[in-house]
Structure 1
Amino acid sequence: MFRSVLLLVLFPCLLFSQTDSASVNYEFAPSGLHFMPLKASYQEARMGILYYPSDANLKVDIGNSVDLLKLKFPSSRGVLTFGVEFMAYAYSTSYSGHRLQIDALDGFFGGNAAFSKSYDEGRLISRFRIIHNSAHLVDGHYDVEQGVWRGSKTPIPFTRDFGELLLGYEAFKKNYSFRIFGGPAYSTLVRPLEIKKYSFSSGFEYAFYNPFGQVFRKDFNLFAAYYINILGTPVFHGNNNLVAGVKFGQWFDKGILLYLNYYTGNNMFSEYFKDNIQRFGIGFSIDFL
């Protein structure tokens, strides 16, 4: 894992040493984000809350992805960026003592490299990222008065160190855009050992610009997104997530999203990964780029 991260950090230096600097434009700490987080993936950096009406529980997302270095290749219309991402999502089961009771938590951190090649009405896109994922039961799952874990569910040592490669295409039209993507992932370390090291994910996103005009002088976009992650736990199966809603603000810029969410598959909170669930949620999140 350390060697992979080191390679990701040193790669720009190797690239500069082999490329004519006159043909490459580079920028440190560029504005914006080259590869936008996938709207329907539950393992992407975002800020927001997803409310489950069936039991009033919450999924709380905290995190961000930042590009640190951008390389532009004008002759080939290519862009290469390197960045970092830190994120976590928490499972809140109640609000007691004027604070959220957090039952479980998944944390992620790592780095990424993204490349795109532009054409007249779209671009080829790719992203490779190296991520450490660990999961934990938190104090909201512990009964202090009884001195036991609730529901006889005790913590398990859950860890995934994985590399993920996504390949896709983005199309830009006058009134809409779409993105399709897919790719494999491989974990160098998994716990529990019954989890398979190989997985695959795919999906799509559609955005329709201002179908009803602007709101408060800002773009008002409709969107729909789907994501599937095929994971072996140990039997391979698909975890499906469908999202549909609106975004206030330009689609590729900062804005506020309000959406409906339907998920089916293994519980996305990794301490409960053996549980098969179906959940409907109402959420909001913020794109801050």
Structure 2
Amino acid sequence: MTNRLKIFFAFFLAVFFLQAHSLSAKDNDSIYFFRSEKVYEPLEAGILEARIGFQKYTNTDYLKLDIGASLDVVAVKSGNKIFSAGADFFTFSNLRTESNFKFPVDAIDYFFGINLNFKSNISKDRRVSARFRLSHISSHLQDGHVYERTDTIFTPFVFSKEFFDLSAIYEYDIARNFLLRAQGGINFIFHSIPDEISPLSGQIGFEARYFLSDMLSFYISNEVTISEVTDATNANENLETGISLGRKNSRGITVFFNYYEGQDFRGQYYGSYLNTKGIGMKLEF
């Protein structure tokens, strides 16, 4: 970890705990540790988000494996506002499917960082939340990569980046069982290897969820990221729709269909075009 990143981490934590101390001195305020309900809930279609699950691509012989979590370590409630600080630790892997139930790991991306979150109730049926993340991500070949049409072994290289991103979500309960969410965000990379990646990118997203019952819901979620790699600018789309079993803001299980088209978001293949369709399952935590 670079000295610059260490300074950012220290400053980040100092600002939060100073804010928490000032808020906790007021009446009717509460401090929570390891709060199970996250203050900031990203869209289901968010790319760089912690997940526990897998996705089998239907148009290739690969599958995606997600392992990790994002947790709120400490939260402060003040009136109708909640502030929290947490951590992200997760990986997403590109696995090949081979005979005899073998899944060699083609490449794996490691993500870790800290986050500062905010949520406020605007009215009975409207809420706004925001998140600031300071993060590091690096990508590595594991069991070797093979080109699709030849037996040439892909040469690994160093890929890493440190960045911060700021995103916000507006939520509106159209009805008791129908929720709409809109997202906007910006990402700034302050250090990367290689340095051909544009430092600035933006995200917009939309999500609709309909609750068939207290335990069963259906959703459709879409995120579009505008980014530039090796002088090529693309609108990268990630569309996901699925059915979730579990109560609102609680643990559960989701079965989903995912469609992605755009620049490859995996570090070892950066600058390449990626188009995938897949069916998967994930645990909501």
TM-score (norm 1): 0.89
8 Å contact 1:207–1:251 — kept in the other structure?
no
Please give the residue correspondences for 1:151-190 in structure 2 after superposition, counting only pairs within 5 Å.
151-172=152-173, 173-190=175-192
- Report the alpha carbon displacement of residue 13 of structure 1 after superposing the two structures with TM: 2.6
Counterpart CA distance in 2 for 1:225 and 1:160 is 27
Partner residue in 2 for 1:123: 127
- TM-superposed deviation, 1:12: 2.8
Kindly state the Cα deviation for residue 273 of structure 1 after the two structures are TM-superposed: 1.4
Whether the 8 Å CA contact 1:49–1:60 is kept in 2: the answer is yes
> Deviation at 1:92?
0.5
Which position in structure 1 is the counterpart of 2:66? 61
Q: Cα gap change, 1:64/1:19 in structure 2, threshold over 3 Å: closer, same or farther?
A: closer
SS of the residue aligned with 1:22? coil
Q: CA deviation at 1:267?
A: 1.5
List runs of 5+ in structure 2 lacking aligned partners: none
2:26 aligned residue: 22
Residue 220 of structure 1 corresponds to 216
For residue 46 of structure 1, report the CA deviation from its aligned partner: 0.5
Q: Which secondary structure does the structure 2 equivalent of 1:139 belong to?
A: coil
**Where does residue 240 of structure 1 map in the other structure?**
237
- Counterpart of 2:227? 231
The answer to whether structure 1 residue 33 and structure 2 residue 38 are counterparts is: yes
Change (3 A) 1:8 1:58: same
CA distance in 2, matches of 1:249, 1:13: 33
- Identity among equivalent positions (%) equals 28
Task: Give the whole-Å Cα distance in 2 for the aligned partners of 1:41 and 1:20.
Answer: 33
Query: What's the offset of the Cα at 1:181?
Result: 0.8
Distance 1:151 1:115 in 2: 49
1:1-289 matches, within 5 Å, as 1-19=5-23, 21-23=25-27, 24-74=29-79, 77-95=80-98, 98-118=101-121, 119-141=123-145, 151-172=152-173, 173-210=175-212, 214=213, 219-233=215-229, 234-288=231-285
The total of aligned residue pairs comes to 275
| Aligned-pair CA distance for 1:170 | 1.0
Contact map agreement 2:23 2:78 (CA 8 A) in 1:
no
Show CA shifts across 1:111-134 (max 9, x none): 101101102102111010111010
CA-atom RMSD in angstroms = 1.9
CA-to-partner distance for each residue in 1:186-214, whole Å, 9 max, x for gaps? 1111111110111111101110001xxx5
Instruction: State the secondary structure of the residue aligned to 2:40.
Output: coil
